[in-house]
Chain A
Amino acid sequence: DTGVSQDPRHKITKRGQNVTFRCDPISEHNRLYWYRQTLGQGPEFLTYFQNEAQLEKSRLLSDRFSAERPKGSFSTLEIQRTEQGDSAMYLCASSPSGGVYGYTFGSGTRLTVV
């Protein structure tokens, strides 16, 4: 296992379309996190999973956003009815349970809404 994988790397979509991103964490990691990073800012927490359970969601995650981790392995983040303000880098990270020693981040998916 070579790390956290995210797909696609880049996505350009028209406003109003739905998009879905995928994250494959490190296989032995049971915690998975989604963050969003806009240009010139630090990453902002969106949500996290412990195995298949989604345990916390940020208020940044409006009802247009949904995340799943159906079998406790890969995760998807869907954005419905995209808006220009959704343009950002979406980062996935994983850690072992009790991940006090930090996360491993994926390469991210850069979303551009035109």
Chain B
Amino acid sequence: ELKVEQNPLFLSMQEGKNYTIYCNYSTTSDRLYWYRQDPGKSLESLFVLLSNGAVKQEGRLMASLDTKARLSTLHITAAVHDLSATYFCAVDVTSGTYKYIFGTGTRLKVLA
């Protein structure tokens, strides 16, 4: 059964610092998605990564995908308080279904 693991599960960081969230998955896939969720809210799409070596950037966030290592990273540059949220990666392994397996999430808190 596919497993999607994120680490760390919790991350408290100072504003202005850099950090990376890791997403490992246990079976072959070249489609990986990152979502953000604020407390009590739904999920907002951040990045869609569709091939090995894909890199996407938006503001202070950059995501990459290494399908051979079955690893995606979400890098945060110069964190600001507004980035505080829970971040999920999700892997699509069923061709044609687009059914996602989500990681357990990384709860990020950026301290002023």
Binding site for B on A (CB under 8 A): 31, 33, 40-45, 48, 55-56, 91, 95, 99-108, 110
Contacts and interface: CB of A to CB of B under 8 A. Distances in A.
B45 A102 contact: yes
Interface in B82-112: 88, 90, 92, 97-105
Interface of B: 4, 31, 33, 35, 40-45, 48, 50, 88, 90, 92, 97-105
A48 B42 contact: no
A108 B104 contact: no
A42 B103 contact: yes
A103 B45 contact: yes
Contacts of B105: 40-42
9 contacts: A31-B98, A40-B104, A42-B102, A43-B88, A45-B100, A91-B42, A100-B31, A105-B42, A110-B40
Nearest to B40: A110
Contacts of B33: 102
A107 B37 CA distance: 11
A44 B101 CA distance: 7
A34 B99 CA distance: 10
The 7 closest A-B pairs by CB, nearest first: A42-B102, A105-B43, A105-B42, A107-B42, A99-B98, A108-B42, A102-B48
A106 B41 CA distance: 9
A98 B41 CA distance: 26
A33 B105 CA distance: 20
A103 B102 CA distance: 13
Contacts of A91: 42-43
Nearest to A31: B98
A54 B33 CA distance: 24
A45 B99 contact: yes
Contact of B102 (A43, A99, A106): A43
Interface centre among A48, A55, A91, A103 (most CB of B within 10 A): A103
A55 B88 CA distance: 25
Given A42-B90, A43-B88, A102-B33, 6 more contacts: A33-B99, A40-B104, A55-B97, A100-B48, A103-B100, A105-B45
